[in-house]
Amino acid sequence: MSVLDQIKQAEEFKEAGNGQFKEGNYKRALASYHKVFLYVNGLQISSERSALPEESRSTNVVPKDRVEDVKRLKLTTNLNMAACYLKLDDHQKCVDTCGKVLEAGANSKAFFRRGQAYAAMKNVEGARNDFQRARELAPDDPAINAELRRLKSVAAQVDEKEKKTFGGMFDRMKHDKEDSHECDECPRIEEIEETEEVQADEAKPEPKARTIDTDALDDARKPEQAVRPLVYSHTQSEEEVKIYVSFDQHDELIDGVAASRVSCEFGEWSFFLQIQASEPDQAPFGLRLGDFFRRVDPKLCKFAVRSSRITLTFVKREKEHWFNLLQRQG
């Protein structure tokens, strides 16, 4: 499929998603929007300064006259996905999706929808900041001012709840303080000498780094047949990486997947996730990533099948922050 055909197919999926959104079928719309990125994520944006001869250029480079179209397609699709997540009350995903838009630059709709998600999550400060940023970019939009007014009632509810939770405690603390007085019979707190604290800190053993297991599988197997690709997102801490494969990216998966249909093989540098098709004559879904930024421990890696996604957990051999998930990422 040519680059122009891929762009056309992506645009058609976006239009399908828009129609499903208008019908109120938000899960189906999300599945269509996910397919947009299956076609455009592998495309490369051409550089106006590129002087490479035509025959040496990659075959998946977007023509210069379509570069802005592809950028706009990605941006508007993410904004529409954020709107779907709002309708489905999946507020954290809305926040994450708006964040992707804002990575490319300030956008009033992204700030506005993220503000709505924050307000629903009772994050009053985050919502207020986003609504104010949205108003700076679109000062004539009456919906923004309406949300700011609505946020005042949300803030009042949060304040009232905090008063009920903590008010009695503060009253008791004040009462105890007024009634307290020093006397010879009152017990006194023993102070710990500074030298004792230092010695205790020095006595703590250093954490041991995990040793490399020479028996561990180096690389996960590659697919033995054609698979339908899956998209994913990921987060990380110094100890582990989590990869999320959402079921709302395809019509066949949108209602959930039985754990018996899912298998995953872990290696130190890669993994291969496979979801068996619901019909025997269909190709399975698959996701294989290789060349992790650093080694993981396959024996401690695991996956869990949830109602709306699969969560894969990878335990790092060494505690550190990875600059990228994969070595080949720039």
Residues whose CB is less than 8 angstroms from the CB of residue 221 and which lie 6 or more positions away in sequence, other chains included: 265, 272
CB under 8 A, 24+ apart: contacts of 228-233: 228/283, 228/284, 228/285, 228/286, 229/38, 229/285, 229/286, 229/287, 230/273, 230/275, 230/285, 230/286, 230/287, 231/34, 231/37, 231/38, 231/41, 232/287, 233/96
pLDDT at 249 (0 to 100): 87
Joined tokens for residue 137: 């970019």
Residues paired with residue 236 on neighbouring β-strands, in sequence order: 241
Residues 6+ apart with CB under 8 A from 30: 17, 81, 84, 85, 248, 249
Q: How many residues in total does the chain contain?
A: 330
Rounded to whole angstroms, how far apart are CA atoms 224 and 242?
25
Single out the residue of 26, 25, 29, 28 nearest to residue 17, CA to CA: 29
Contact 119, 57 (CB under 8 A): no
| 310 contacts 244 by C-beta, under 8 angstroms | yes
Buried b / exposed e over 173-198, threshold 16 CB at 10 Å, is eeeeeeeeeeeeeeeeeeeeeeeeee
What is the structure's pLDDT at 47? 56
- Can you state the percent helix, strand and coil of the chain, rounding each to 5? 50, 15, 40
The whole-angstrom distance between residue 81's C-alpha and the CA centroid of its chain comes to 13
Q: How far apart are CA 97 and CA 15, in angstroms?
A: 19
Q: What is the pLDDT along the chain (330 residues), one digit of tens a residue?
A: 789 999 999 999 999 999 999 999 999 999 999 999 999 887 887 654 444 445 435 578 889 889 999 999 999 999 999 999 999 999 999 999 999 999 989 999 999 999 999 999 989 889 999 999 999 999 989 999 999 988 887 777 766 655 555 555 545 555 554 544 444 444 333 333 333 333 333 444 444 444 445 455 678 888 888 999 998 888 889 999 999 999 988 889 988 999 999 999 999 899 999 999 988 889 999 999 988 989 999 999 999 999 899 999 999 999 998 888 887 654
Q: What domains can be seen in the chain, in order of their start residue? A: 3-45+58-150 (1.25.40.10), 228-315 (2.60.40.790)
> What was the pLDDT predicted at 44?
84
What's the pLDDT at 122? 87
The answer to whether the CB of 91 falls within 8 A of the CB of 82 is: no
User: For residues 66 and 2, what is the distance between their CA atoms, to the nearest angstrom?
Assistant: 13
- Model's pTM, two decimal places? 0.53
Distances (CA, A) of 278 to 74, 226, 253, 265: 30, 16, 9, 21
